Each structure stands twice: as C-alpha cells, then as structure tokens.
Amino acid sequence: MSIQNVASWNNLQKDWNRLKDVHLNDLFLDNPKRFDQFSFSKDDLNIDFSKECIDEGVLRNLIKLAKECNLEQQRDAMFSGKYINSTENRAVMHVALRANSTDAYEVDAIPTSDMVDDVLNEFLNFADSIRSGKISNAHGQSFTDVINIGIGGSDLGPVMSVNALSAFSNGGPNLHFISNVDGNDFLDTTSGLDPKRTLILVASKTFTTIETMTNAKTAKDWLLSKLTESEISNNMVALSSNLKATKEFGIKNENVFGFWDWVGGRYSMCASIGLPIALSIGSKNFRELLAGFRDMDIHFKTAPLNKNLPVLLGLIGIWRRNFMKLPTLAIIPYDQRLDRFPAYIQQMDMESNGKSVSKDGSDVSIETAPIVWGEAGTNAQHSFFQLLHQGTNIVPVDFIIAARASHNLSGHHEKLISNFLAQSEALAFGKSKDKVLKEMLKNNVDAEKAKNLTPHRYFKGNKPSTSIIHKELSPFSLGRLIAMYEHKIFVQGIIWGVNSFDQWGVELGKVAAVEIGNVIEGNESISNLHVATQPLLKKIYELRK
C-alpha cells in the first residue's frame, strides 16, 4: 500500500494545510509554554522542538504514522539480526559493536558478543601498546604520528571523532587523515613527518577501494624512502577483512583487524575502523564512546515512541521534508571541535536514504533524504546565515551545543551560548517592519531613509529549528549523539520505504572511473568512451602537453 493512502499521512497533510499560514509568533502567543510541551530529554540530553511549525495534533499524527508504518516491528527486526538489508541479503547489526553480552544480540543464531569482544580487545590493546611505546618501529622507537588512509565511512567517522575528542588525547600520537586520491592530500599530510616514526593505517573492508589503495601504495613507497622492505611491516596496519590482499601488500596478520559483512561502512566506527580514535584517546575513553552509543541504542529500542528521541527527531524530519516540502537540512554545532560533524551526518543520511527506489523495486512516490550540510557556529553566521534569515528558501536547522565548555577561557563559552540562543530565536520570530522602522527613528535616522531601509532590515521569521543541548562534549556524549542520528535515519528510511543500508549509487561512478582509467593508462582506446567524455579527455591531454 502506498504511504499516501495511510490514514495518518492524509491527516498530516490536513495538519499542514491548517498550519502553513500560521506564524511561529502566533503559536507562541497561543501557548507561551510550548517548550514544556515540545521538549524531550534523556538524562542531560535535551531536544527542543518548540520552534518547529508543529502543534499537538501534528505530533500525535506523526506518532500514528510511525505505528502505521510498523516502525516498532522494523526496529525489533534490526535488533534481532534479521536480514533487513534486502538488496545485499545481510543483517544490519552495528548495534552489536557497542553492546554488552547481556544484550544477547545474534546473527544467524550465532551470538555476536564473543566475536565482537575478541576483535575489540585486540585493537584496543594494540592502540594502548602504540600509545605507551610498547609496540614500536623496527628500531625500537615509539610512533609519534599515525596516518589513517581511508575514504567515506573509513574516514569521516574517525576524523570527526578524533577532532571532537582532542581534549581526551592525553599525550597520544598525532593523528592525520588522508582520503582524497588527489596527490596534494598525501603530500600536504606527510610534509614534515618522519616515515620511520609514522604508523600507517589502511582502512578498507575489501582492500580494493581505488582511492585508498592508490594512497596506500604511495604511503608504502614513502616508508621505503627511509626503511627497508623488512622493516616497514612494523609501520603498517590494515583495517580490513581481506587477509589475502593485506598479506600480499606486506602487512603481517597480527596487524590486521577485521569486521563483518553485517557492519556497513558508514556505521563502522565502533568496529576496527575506530582504531585511529582509540589511538588518539586510549582504550578507556574509547569504551566510554561505545557506552554512549549503547545508551542511545537501548533508549531507541525500549522507549515509547512519544518519548523516544531518535524517533521524534526522525518524525520532525518527515514533517519538514514531506509536508513542509523543505529539501535541505543545516546542522550547526556550536562547538569548533564538532566542525566535521555535519559532514559525517551528511554521508550517513544522504548515502542511507538518498534513494528513489522502494524496497520492493518500485519508484518512490514521495521525497526522501534531505540535502544535509552545515558548519560550526559561530563561523556559519558569517558565511551562509544571510540566506537562512532572508533568502528565498526556508532551511530547517538542527542547532547543537554543550552547556559546559571544554576549556577554561573566560567569556568564550558564554558568547557561544548567546549566539546559539539568538540564532534560533531570530530565525523563528524575525523582526517586523514596524519594529525595524521604530528602532531606526529612535536612533535619529532620517524618516525617508528609514522608510527605504526598512524592507532590507525586515526579517519574516517563521523559520523552523530544533535545539539540541547536552551537558558537555565527552566520549560518552559524542557516542550518544551519533547513535541518535543513526537511528533517526533508520526511522525515516522505514517511513519512506527505502533500504537505508545499501549504496548502489556510489558504485556507478566507481565503475565508470575504472573504465576511463584504463583509457588514460593506455590499455584501451579513447573511442571506447562515451562521446560526451571523449572531447573532455582530449582537452585535458592538450592542456597537459
């Protein structure tokens, strides 16, 4: 049955017809205590939806929609190890990576706890041994630097988390990341580093990803500039399940940490892909990160839908995307150390739900994933907030802030908080023309000039936003925050009827790049390429002469 025939979907459409001309100013005038009604908490994590264009009827119908789409049953199917990734015939069990044995997760009737714990203990012990100098290079020297070579899910989660948790590094090695196949990424990252004292992590589940393997081969040559063939094995680690390929590359088996086909790349930072995080913050803090993930997993699994933070966050996103018809989402963390968080959620959301095909193979009949983007505040305010406040498109925003600073510099965090609060207030309520005019006249601006300037200084407001507040940024709170967005994306995928756990759209460009690469390398004729591509390649050849 089409989602548009579901009773609650039609009721939500009626809700939007009822609310589309109602300003947030009016909603707050009618109910000044909207915060009490539309804010939800789990321990110190608080989400405020009061500045969204919703009322009690909307929230009630969104919960009904989740039930009518069998969200609870689909959620239980994921946690029970069912093969919900239908196009790849796989379970989706990233929750098992951060579970306790008491959670009793299984895949194919095999408990996951022992296998997960074995790999977790191995790579965490390895991380601590690198940090302490117990594991060293061939000359007995400790590693001062670590370079993680990966892309997509093998890069975005680790680099975001290492940046976010830099306050918890406690003297660990310096972490660096190479993802782009552009050689400048490699050159800029390795500039000034000593190959002898640099540990290279090659993160690729299949050990075949073109960008990663190209950079890995260059890294191997870089190591060989200062080390012998027999010595470099101490400086190389693989995060992969392809033992044959890693051995052929020259990486010893004890330096290979694998994971399982029921772990998708963008959900893999709690597996061995998280080794760079562990190298940065140590095993104790890494386990705290996992505990934060699990805390949200259990909440998502057990909390009633009307108090379930990922469910509510997902449903508000459905309201924005499908009824308000808003195609984008800006994520603005007011924390410089979370500056890569928008990019991480961008990949997770757009790769998961950026689909136009339903699970049954039919075309979807509704809008799916929004375009996700963003930057850390307050920088974003001096970049694209002009468009948010006065542009022709309405852009919903998720604002994120910690109540406590992770530093002791006087006055900084207070200014950050004031901006966080001011922006959501200004987006919601704007500034009327009357108020703009009166302010200018009060400041002795010429009446005619004030009249002419008023349209430029007027703000419509009525721009929706959600405010997310937690006590402080820590390994635990970061894990909890990420898991909340993971499950939010799952919720939306269920309602849209798409498979959130494949990414066939990523593959098309990869295959085309291989075909074009064969021509560039002289293995095939340029005439084999598409007529649109041939002249572009010829132009590049001309410019390279």
pLDDT per position as a tens digit, 324-340:
999 999 999 999 999 99
Instruction: Kindly compute the dihedral angle of the four CA atoms of residues 252, 174, 379, 483, in this order, to the nearest 10 degrees.
Output: 50
Model pLDDT, residue 311: 98
The structure tokens listed for 392 are 């022709």
Angstrom distance (rounded) from CA 168 to CA 156: 19
Mean pLDDT of the chain, nearest integer:
96
Angstrom distance (rounded) from CA 351 to CA 504: 9
Nearest Cα to 394, choosing from 8, 9, 20, 3?
Answer: 20
Q: Is 147 exposed, middle or buried (0-12, 13-18, 19+ CB in 10 A)?
A: buried
Model pLDDT, residue 394: 98
The structure tokens listed for 66 are 């989740």
Q: What is the mean pLDDT of each run of 10 residues along the chain (545 residues)?
A: 88 98 97 97 98 98 98 98 96 97 96 96 98 97 98 97 96 96 98 98 93 97 96 97 94 95 95 98 98 98 98 98 98 98 98 96 96 97 97 98 96 98 98 96 96 96 98 98 98 97 88 91 93 96 94
Nearest Cα to 123, choosing from 258, 268, 19?
Answer: 258
CATH class of 7-68+303-426+465-496: alpha beta
Angstrom distance (rounded) from CA 453 to CA 250: 69
Q: For residue 395, what are the CA distances in angstroms to 312, 341, 384, 421, 493?
A: 19, 18, 11, 17, 21
Model pLDDT, residue 5: 87
For the stretch 409-445, what's the b/e string if a residue is b when 16 or more beta carbons lie within 10 angstroms of its beta carbon? eeeebeebbebbeebbebbbbbeeeeebbeebeeeee
Angstrom distance (rounded) from CA 499 to CA 489: 11
Model pLDDT, residue 212: 96
DSSP state of 85: B
Name the superfamily (CATH) of residues 98-285: Glucose-6-phosphate isomerase like protein; domain 1 (3.40.50.10490)
First to last CA, the chain: 59
Indicate which residues carry an active-site annotation.
Answer: 351, 382, 510
Model pLDDT, residue 240: 95
Nearest Cα to 427, choosing from 454, 387, 456, 377?
Answer: 387
Nearest Cα to 336, choosing from 407, 234, 252, 267?
Answer: 407
Model pLDDT, residue 1: 62
Q: What is the pLDDT of residues 194-230, one digit of tens each?
A: 999 999 999 999 999 999 999 999 999 999 999 999 9
Model pLDDT, residue 101: 92
The structure tokens listed for 21 are 């001309």
CB 117 within 8 Å of CB 250: no
Question: Which residue is listed with tokens 């959130």?
Answer: 500
The structure tokens listed for 119 are 């790999």
Q: For residue 355, what are the CA distances in angstroms to 64, 487, 503, 507, 532?
A: 24, 17, 9, 14, 26
Report the phi/psi class of residue 106: left, alpha or beta, with left for phi > 0 and alpha for psi in -120 to 50.
Answer: beta
Q: Which stretches within 31-155 are classed as H helix?
A: 34-38, 56-68, 71-79, 113-132
